[in-house]
Amino acid sequence: MAYSSRSSKRGALLAGAVAALGLLTACGSQDVHSTPQKVSGTAVPATETSSNSASDATTAAPSTPGGGTPTTTHKPTAAPDDGTGTKAGSAGGRCHTSELRASVGRNNPGAGQENFPVVLTNKSARTCTLRGFPGAAFVNASGSQIGKDPKRESGSPATVTLKPGQSAWAGLTFSNPEVSGAGTGTPAALVVTPPDERDPLQVAWTAGPVPVSGNSSSVFLTVFSPGTGA
């Protein structure tokens, strides 16, 4: 009986130890193999439905020490472009029609030719440039063109820089109608368009008849040169 009691106690102790070990093993297994839990936070996943949150995160104003309002750095505003590649108020760039005044100089005839300088003067407050040929046409009192479009004489265009008040001139040449026998008309004005511009200037024509028809009715223009051609 004494042996059986001792054996029963030993068995009870062994069973308790085994149970305790099993409990410890089960707890360790749960810690290692359990599914990770999601933890709530402030991060937003980059998905199509979170574009507003991403935008808010990008544009949010940074905080400053002491809770004050952050100072915003403003970039300087560039001068507006006038639509032709020239910054408003800047020097350089081509002369625009609104910046020029047109006139026709005195005739310098020779060898049956009539030669007039067509002068453009910079009336603006900035320096600008002219390069190439003007556009030109004779018109009557109603504004309709008379005669053919002038032709361009051969020549190499050069850039002419005009400071305020300075001028450039292009030659306008045609054969004297009394010599050539061409048909004539008496224009009321000469319309002049600066190079690369669309808006024309108009100058009263007071030099009498010009050729408008016939084989010798051509009018020619030269490229702009510095000065007034006087």
State the amino acid at position 182 in one-letter form: A
- Give me the percent of the chain exceeding a pLDDT of 70: 60
The two structure tokens encoding residue 49: 């439905």
Is 21 inside any structural domain? no
The CA distances from residue 84 to 11, 121, 162, 167, 194, in Å, are: 105, 20, 18, 22, 14
Is 139 inside any structural domain? yes
Is 112 inside any structural domain? yes
In the chain, how many domains are there?
1
Is 154 inside any structural domain? yes
Q: Whole-angstrom Cα distance, residue 77 to residue 84?
A: 19
Query: What is the mean predicted confidence (pLDDT) over 6-32?
Result: 44
Is 157 inside any structural domain? yes
- Residue 221 belongs to what domain range? 97-226
pLDDT at 155: 85
Is 125 inside any structural domain? yes
Q: What is the CATH number of the domain that holds 200?
A: 2.60.40
Whether the CB-CB separation of 121 and 101 falls below 8 Å is answered with yes
State the amino acid at position 156 in one-letter form: S
- Give me the percent of the chain exceeding a pLDDT of 90: 55
- DSSP, collapsed to helix, strand or coil, labels residue 148 as coil
pTM over 0.75: no
